[in-house]
Structure formats: structure tokens, C-alpha cells
Amino acid sequence: MAAMMRALFAISMLLGAPARGASPIEEAQAAELERVRVEVADEIQLAAYDLVDELIVGWSKDPVFDEPTPVVLAGVTVPVGLGTGMAALLENHISSVLRDNPTSQIQLVHCPACTAVVVQSGPEGTVVSRGIDNPDTLARLGGATGQHALFVDIEAEGSWLVLRARLTQLTPDLPIVWSHTLASPGSSPALLRESRNLKSAAEARQEYLDALRDRGPIQIPVRFAVRTYASPFDDQGIPPPPFIWLQSGVELGATEARAWTASLLVGYSFIPQAYQGLMGQARVSRLVTGRVRSHTRPDLYLFLGGAVMTVWGPATAGFQDTVLNADQIIVALDGEGPRTAFGTFQVGADLRVGNRVGLSTFLEVMPSLRNSPNMGTYVRVLGIGYQSLGTEVTFWF
Amino acid sequence: MNLLVLVAQTLFPYAVRTDPAPGLLRSKAESRSLHCEWLSLSEAERRQPGRLTPVRARGDYAEREVMLCEQQLLAAGTRAPGEDAILASLDATVTALANRTDSLGLDDRVWMVEANHPSAQVASKIAFATKNALMGGGLRVTDRSPTLSAGDVDVITRLGPEESYAAACKRYADNGSLRPGDALLAVMVRDRRETALHSGVCTEGNWAWLR
């Protein structure tokens, strides 16, 4: 018997003993998990704010109550696993946005007894509950009977963040008078709305599209371009030097989305003692990153175009179709040099930011100079040798 | 040059990473962290405006479907796997449950909801979602809960799931916390290892399993 008592005592001591200290590995794992939770909470917080804003926009547009009604914020719950710090932030956000939007007809009121645990003993028994779950007791405690309680729950369901809200009337029958569920994919960026001028997501998108369209279909580009020319393969000819161009003209969007654009530009090139040039250029560009140009991320266009150039000056002898001899070079240096006119075709890519600034690069082929001994090719695609490589910086006005 | 093109063409499917399956550049863990769903073109266009070519006015030449894969909001391990499995599909589960409840033809009742899960936090989430789904189905729902005395709880918790819910239902009716015009929808996990939710309905002391 005594042995049995000792064994029972030992077992009870084991069960009652404090938890053993966590190993360093477990502590490191717990710390890492906590870091991940904080990171996720930071990312989800803005999306949760967005859903709260959308909820209150809905109340402002279609109020639940006809007149300002006192409502107790009875509970805000956050995704399981993300702790309660986020709940406090959400409560503050809900209060702040509701205060800034009185048209929602919801007036948050303070009711400590509503969320406190109350105990009611009577002939039927003893009931332990929160005040909001027991309106009779709430009334006896002086709580506001007849008010409404707002419950908000936010949960991460797969890749979706879901907000559920309900309004319950604090009468003995506790009827739910209104409920709503909103969901937002986690990948969509938060709208970060101004709380005093709340807009729905649809309205915000319309404003965004209006902002895109406000500049009209025609724009004036100013472009700085540098063209380089490939050295000949046999090193017998002399390639033209790099050419710097200043171009301007008009660019027309085929639609307001500017998925297709066409441009017509004229350009001038001048380096004292070296060369001068004039050009006319036409291009058609196609947006490849979406169907509508964006204000928030860069847009990539691919383009095809053609140009007609005329160049003259001592350094333009390389645009001739013959191997230059010493006499030709001396004559060119002495006077205005040869004047050459030729056509080109271009293909390239243009990366634009906000349709204000762009960086593009292109390959150019000059059919009339395809057999020129003064020029090689940078790359050959589908039998076409591209003799020139260019880079441009463009500003649109 | 040709070899370069050949290598580029071979690597292209891996480089653009449109397929959610694990491969050269995507680990199994990375694939598991994706939440993928098949969508119709119109739904995909609504969800991701501007990213798809819309159906032409005279239709497309080919049948097109979209698989949309998005990163799960919570990384694996952030919460218990069993809870995550229930919560990840909570909306679809409670919507199906509300539809089934709606089809019972008990529209004149006031519905109470009770959720049982080992985690009180998850139980609260299930109950909240179920109430909203029932409200969405046009049913009258209350935040009231049926109550049991301590003696009832002591007896009922000794019974198995099959008997305990029926016994609790009877006691709810007997003690008056479930009135004649009320109906109770109980949602529960019957084993802490399972990730499916079961449900049953209690009206006037009669218990019936829905699922």
C-alpha cells in the first residue's frame, strides 16, 4: 500500500512538475515561427484594412439603419495563428474609419459590461457568459439594452482573406439583423484608401482609368537616341561612328488603353567637325504587359518601324557602299564630306514608366547598305543581318 | 547559334514558370504553398482584370480555361495543419451546409448555430461563418445559444458522438433553451484528427445528422 502511495505521489509530482525548459533548437524554431507570423501579419494587415474600408463603404452607400444608431464593437477576431496584436490594430482602424464616415449611420459606443464576463444565478441555474450574450443581465447591470453589437471576423482561407461581419440586436432573442461576407485575393494590392473620402474598389478603379485617360490620345515624345554600327568582318572598311539623334514628333494611341501606338518623329543629329543628319521615322508599338497601360508598374512595348535618314559630314564616309581609300578620306575631311540618304527598318523593345519616361533598345537594318564593306552585322535573325544597334531615352509630354 | 536557340526553347517552359507542378525551378514545398483553382475565362477576367485577352465578340477559336495559382496567405506551419485544412475551405464548406439546411424547408424557424472543435478559436470561426452563410440563404438566425446544466454536461460528455448530440438535443428542448420555433444547426469535428466538418439539426428535441 505504501509503495502504491509512493508511486502515485511520484506520478503526481511528474504530472504537476513545470514544463521542462525548451532546447535551443526548439527555441530557435519558435523564434523563427514568431518571425514568420509577424511578417505575415504585416502583409495581411493592409489587406484586412482594405476589407474593413470596403465594408464601411457599403454601409455609407447602403446604410443598415435609417438614422445614427449606437453600436457596440463586440468582437474583432483575426486569422488563427496571427496573435491578438492585429486585432487591436483592426479595432482602431474600424473606429477611425467609422468616425470619419458618419453616413454609415453607425455610432460606436463604449460598453464595458457588454464584453465583460457576467454570471447570472437564478432558479433555472447559473449562467456564465459575456454581457452581449445575456441581454437580461446586461440590462440589470445598466448596460444599454436595445443597442446593437458588431462582430467582425477576418480569416485567411487559402489564398483569400475573408471578412465576415454581423450586427446583432441586443434584445433577449439576440436576432442577427444584418450580416455580410467580403473576400479579397491575397495577391491583390491594398487600395490604401483615404478614410475621409472612402471609395469602393469599383470607384477607385474608375478613377484610375480616368487618370489614365486624362492626357488624351496624342502625346509629344522627345527622344535622345544613340546608334552604333557594327564593324566590318574583314576589318577592311571603316564603320560610321556612333550617331546621336534628337527626335520629336507625335505619338497616337489607337485606343485609350494605349495597347497599340503609332508615332511619327523627325530628328536632327549634329556633332561639330564630324557629321550632321536629318531623319524621319515611323513606328508602331504594341503593349505586351497587359491590355491597358499601367500607372503603377512599367509597361513593355515591342515595336516595328522604319526611318529615312540623310547624313553628311567628314565622318559619314562609312555610309558609302564602297571600300574607302585614303584619297576619299582626305577629301571628306577637307570639305563637307559625302551626303548619303538611306532607309532603315527597326525592331525593338521599349520599357516605359508611367508613359512619361522610357528606355528602349532596337536593332536596325539598312537594306541599301547590306553589302557595304564598311559595316558588319551585330546579329542575324531569319536571314536578316542587323547592322545597327540603338538605345533611346524618351520623355513624353 | 542554333544550339543556343534549341537550349532556350527547351528551358522556356521552366523559365516562364506557368505550370504549378514542381520541376527544375520549383520545389515541392513551393508548389504545395500554392493555392490553384480552375476558372472560367470570364471569372478569371473579373479576378485579374487586364491580364487576359478577352473572348472576342464572335468567340474564340479554341476552348480556353484558366488555372489561377496564388500563394497561400499563411505559410505552412504557421498554424496547426488540421485547423488550416478546415479554415482553408471554410467558405465553401459553410456555403454548402447553408444550402443543405435551406433545402430542409424549415424557413419559419429561428436558427441557432453551435460549433464544436477542439480549438475554441476555430469553433468560433466556424460558427461565425455558418451564421453568415445561413443569413445569406435568407434564414432567420439568432446569436442565442442553447444551454445545458452542469449535470447534463457531466452525463452527455460520457456518451459517444452518436448518442451525445441526440441526448443534448433532447435536453435543449426539455430545459426550454431550444423553443418550439427554434432550430439548432450543430457543426462539429467528431474526431480531432479529421478535417471534414459534420453537421446535424435539432428541432423540438429531435436530432438528425445532415452530414
Give the pLDDT score at A77: 92
In A359-388, the residues whose Cβ lies within 8 Å of chain B are 380
B122-132: per-residue pLDDT in tens?
A: 999 999 999 99
Give the residue carrying C-alpha cell 522610357. A358
CB atoms within 10 A of CB B32: 12
Q: Is B130 exposed, middle or buried (0-12, 13-18, 19+ CB in 10 A)?
A: buried
Q: How high is the pLDDT of residue A300? A: 94
Instruction: Give the residue from A201, A197, A160 showing the smallest Cα distance to A181.
Output: A160
pLDDT score of A377: 87
CA distance A181 to B31: 29
- Averaged confidence pLDDT in chain A: 82
The reply to whether domains A35-186 and A213-396 share a CATH topology is: no
For the whole model, what pTM was predicted? 0.64
Q: How many beta-carbon pairs under 8 angstroms link A with B?
A: 127
CA-CA distances (angstroms) from residue A81 to A190, A393, B84, B121?
A: 22, 49, 10, 10
The predicted complex's ipTM stands at 0.83
- Placement of cell 463603404 in the chain: A57
User: In chain B, what is the straight-line distance between the N-terminal and C-terminal CA atoms, in Å?
Assistant: 63
Phi and psi at B92, nearest 5°, equal -65, -40
Give which of A261, A268, A263 is closest to A220, Cα–Cα.
A263
Specify the fold of A213-396: Porin (2.40.160)
DSSP string computed for A184-231: EETTSPP----GGG---HHHHHHHHHHHHHTT-SEE-EEEEEEEEEPP
pLDDT at B23: 77
Say if the Cβ atoms of B71 and A153 lie within 8 Å. no
Mean pLDDT of A138-151: 75
> Under a CB-based contact definition with an 8 Å cutoff, are residues A222 and A234 in contact?
no
Q: A35-186, which class in CATH?
A: alpha beta
Domain ranges of chain B: 2-71, 81-209
Confidence of residue A17 (pLDDT cuts 50, 70, 90): very low
Domain boundaries, chain A: 35-186, 213-396
What is the third-level CATH fold of B81-209?
Answer: Peroxisomal Thiolase; Chain A, domain 1 (3.40.47)
Per-residue pLDDT, B148: 87
Q: Does the pLDDT at position A173 exceed 80?
A: yes
Residues 6+ apart with CB under 8 A from A222: A246, A247, A248, A394, A395, A396, A397
Would you say residue B16 has pLDDT above 60?
no
Residue in this structure with the C-alpha cell 539623334, named with its chain if needed: A245
Chosen for mutation from B119, B132, B148, B182 (greatest number of chain A CBs closer than 10 Å) is: B132
How far apart are the C-alpha atoms of A309 and A317, rounded to whole Å?
14
Q: What pLDDT is stored for residue A64 in this prediction? A: 92
Among candidates A36, A125, A164 on the partner chain, residue whose Cβ is nearest the Cβ of B75: A36
Q: Give the residues across from A26 on adjacent strands.
A: none
Q: Is B139 helix (H, G, I), strand (E, B) or coil?
A: coil
Q: What is the dihedral of CA B98, A114, B83, B119, to 10 degrees?
A: -110
Helix (H, G, I), strand (E, B) or coil at A130: strand
Q: Please determine, for residue B43, whether its predicted confidence score (pLDDT) is greater than 80.
A: yes
Question: Does the structure show a pLDDT above 80 at A190?
Answer: no
Under the banding of pLDDT at 50, 70 and 90, the label for residue A210 is confident
In Å, how far is A287's CA from the nearest CA of chain B?
12
* Predicted pLDDT at A16: 41
- Name the amino acid, one letter, at A188: S
Helix (H, G, I), strand (E, B) or coil at A369: helix
**Are B71 and A290 within 8 A, CB to CB?**
no
Q: What is the pLDDT of residue A213?
A: 64
User: Are B72 and A159 in contact (CB < 8 Å)?
Assistant: yes
* Contact predicate B136/B104, CB 8 Å: no
- The residue whose grid cell reads 553589302 is A371
Give strand pairing partners of A195. Answer: none
For A108, other C-beta atoms within 10 Å of its C-beta total 15
Tell me the chain A residues in contact with residue B70 when contact means C-beta distances shorter than 8 Å: 159, 185-187
| Alpha-carbon gap, residue B127 to B122, rounded angstroms | 9
Give the residue from chain B lying closest to A44, CA to CA: B73
Residues of A in contact with B110 (CB under 8 A): 173, 175
The alpha carbon of A78 is separated from its chain's Cα centroid by a whole number of angstroms, namely 25
Burial of A64 from C-beta contacts in 10 A (0-12 / 13-18 / 19+): middle
Give which of A164, A112, A162 is closest to B113, Cα–Cα. A164
Helix (H) or strand (E) holding A301: strand A299-312
Instruction: Please count the other Cβ atoms lying within 10 Å of the Cβ belonging to residue A1.
Output: 5
How far the first Cα of chain A sits from its last, in Å, is 98
Q: Do A151 and B125 count as a contact with CB atoms less than 8 A apart?
A: no
CA-based max dimension of chain B: 86
Give chain A positions within 8 Å (CB) of B125.
77, 80, 153, 155
Residue B89 phi/psi, 5-degree rounding, is -120, 25
Nearest-by-Cβ selection for B73 from A132, A156, A176? A156
Q: Among A14-18, A145-149, A325-329, where is mean pLDDT lowest?
A: A14-18
In this predicted structure, what is the pLDDT of residue A236?
73
Q: Is residue B11 very low, low, confident or very high in pLDDT (cuts 50, 70, 90)?
A: low
A162 has a pLDDT exceeding 60: yes
> Best residue in B73, B114, B172 to probe A by mutation, most A CBs within 10 Å?
B73
pLDDT in tens, A364-381: 999 888 888 888 888 888
| Cα A351 from Cα A218, distance rounded (Å) | 19
State the smallest CA–CA distance between residue B91 and chain A in angstroms. 8
Instruction: Retrieve residue A379's grid coordinates.
Output: 546579329
Strand, coil or helix: B49: coil
Which of the pair, B107 or A124, is modelled with greater confidence? B107
Helices B90-102/B81-88 angle, 10° precision: 50
Q: Are B65 and B55 in contact (CB under 8 A)?
A: no
Mind telling me how many Å the CA of A70 is from chain B's nearest CA?
A: 19
Q: Which three three-digit cell numbers place residue A185? A: 485575393
- pLDDT, chain B, mean: 86
Best mutation target, B141, B143, B154, to test chain A (most A CBs within 10 A): B143
Residue B210, pLDDT > 80, answer yes
Above 60 in pLDDT, residue A147? yes
A:307-366 residues touching chain B, CB 8 A cutoff: none
Q: What percent of chain B has pLDDT over 70?
A: 93
